[in-house]
Structure 1
Amino acid sequence: MILLCAALLALAVLVWPSRRLRGPAAEDLLRSSGPRLRLGRGPGSGAGPTVPEVARAVHLLALSVRSGTGLTEAIDAVAAETGGAVGRQLTTVTAALRWGVDEQTAWQGVPAVWQPAARALQLAAAAGVPPAELLLEAADDLLRRERQRLDVSAARLGVRIVLPLGLAFLPAFVLTTVVPVVLALAQEVLGRP
């Protein structure tokens, strides 16, 4: 009986989700354990911005461009307004644009979370349309994909928790309630001639 409990406990410990997990799903779970979801580090930016911070900056950029401000000035104004990692990364883009670097290369100097905004600006330039609406759609798309990613991570976590809980609590329930009842019934049945 004790060996069975020890074996079940060891099995539960072995299958319990831990930091030994590898791959994108495990990294998502580990990153989302804090109060704010952090992205990877950009070049020279320190800690990366959160997806909501980037979406907010893209919204501000769309509003600034919609008001008639030039693209470089709008990015510079949003960088000054937001500050932090977002501001540093946008300042990198404006510096590159001011040095004459093409727009696509300028956006490659920041983390991949900015790519929806870069694609929106490139599409607007190629089509010859104002970029504000495309930037707003890019920000909404960023938030939508982040919500979906968090939903998938939460669903995976729920699935990973079920097996260890079942392996730990079901044997404990059987050993503390079912086995004593069966033993008491067997003693009564076998004890009486």
Structure 2
Amino acid sequence: MGAFAAGWALVGGVAGCAVGVAGAYGVRRWQDRPRPASAEDSEAAARLPLAAELLAACLSAGAGPREAAEAVGRSVGGPVGERLRRTAAELALGGDPAEAWARFGGVPGARRLARCLERAAVSGAPAAIPVSRLAAGLRADRARAAAIRAQRAQVLITAPVGLCFLPAFLAVGVAPVVIGLAGRLL
């Protein structure tokens, strides 16, 4: 409403209403944009592939999901390590594996890993191979996300470079030629 009123007040009339509507639409789109991930979420996303690989190593060495979660939680640290330690403590106290692993699945990107470890805890099925596949998938997802961010940065840097070099090119390359031609013609 404020953007609409500002457009109407600054420009006035029908054109002001149009500018106000465009401004209000732009403000609304800006407010509805996706928010960047919090620092805790980005740290969790960074540590999750490592935690999954360590869990796979512990599981292939013969540890159960609770023991693996406890060992990896102590070594990884951060939000992922804290959630793994809490999950292991809850399981050690006799908590329901489905609920405990579902809480670990609340870590961004850990839902599939939590379901796999829950199945292993409930059924006793070996989870080393599925967890190692998930770890490889998490590493690949992280690499893809980094490549996308790098490509986006390449595109975003063209505007400042263009804004810096175009005036310099005009001032150094085009302006002297135009001034020289104008001097000869006059």
TM over 0.5: yes
Aligned equivalents of 1:119, 1:73: Cα separation in 2: 17
> Which range moves more in the overlay, 71-80 or 100-109?
100-109
Secondary structure (helix, strand or coil) at the match of 1:100 reads: coil
Secondary structure (helix, strand or coil) at the match of 1:62 reads: helix
Root-mean-square deviation (Å)? 2.9
Secondary structure (helix, strand or coil) at the match of 2:103 reads: coil
| Aligned CA distance change for structure 1 residues 147 and 22 (closer, same or farther; 3 Å) | farther
**Residue-by-residue CA offset, 1:124-147 (whole Å, 9 max, x unaligned):** 568874100111011111111011
Secondary structure (helix, strand or coil) at the match of 2:71 reads: helix
Using the aligned pairs only, state the percent identity: 33
Quote the residue 1:75 is aligned against: 69
Give 5+ residue unaligned stretches, structure 1.
1-19, 32-37, 42-47
Quote the residue 1:109 is aligned against: 103
Quote the residue 1:10 is aligned against: none
Quote the residue 2:11 is aligned against: none
Of the three residues 115, 129, 133, the one matched with 1:119 is 115
Quote the residue 2:25 is aligned against: none
> What displacement does 1:171 show?
2.3
Matches within 5 A, 1:83-162: 83-110=77-104, 111-122=107-118, 129-162=125-158
Matches within 5 A, 1:157-172: 157-172=153-168
**Conserved in 2, the CA contact under 8 Å of 1:92 and 1:109?**
no
Quote the residue 1:27 is aligned against: 36
Quote the residue 2:175 is aligned against: 179
**Conserved in 2, the CA contact under 8 Å of 1:75 and 1:94?**
yes
So what's the TM-score if we normalise by structure 2? 0.69
Which amino acid in 2 is paired with 1:78? V
Secondary structure (helix, strand or coil) at the match of 1:112 reads: coil
**Conserved in 1, the CA contact under 8 Å of 2:69 and 2:85?**
yes
**Residue-by-residue CA offset, 1:17-43 (whole Å, 9 max, x unaligned):** xxx99845x737xx8xxxxxx5428xx
| Aligned CA distance change for structure 1 residues 61 and 96 (closer, same or farther; 3 Å) | same
Relative contact order: is structure 1 or structure 2 higher (C-alpha 8 Å, sep ≥ 6)? 1
Aligned residue pairs, count: 155
**Conserved in 2, the CA contact under 8 Å of 1:58 and 1:136?**
yes
Quote the residue 2:44 is aligned against: 49
Give 5+ residue unaligned stretches, structure 2.
1-29
> What displacement does 1:87 show?
2.8
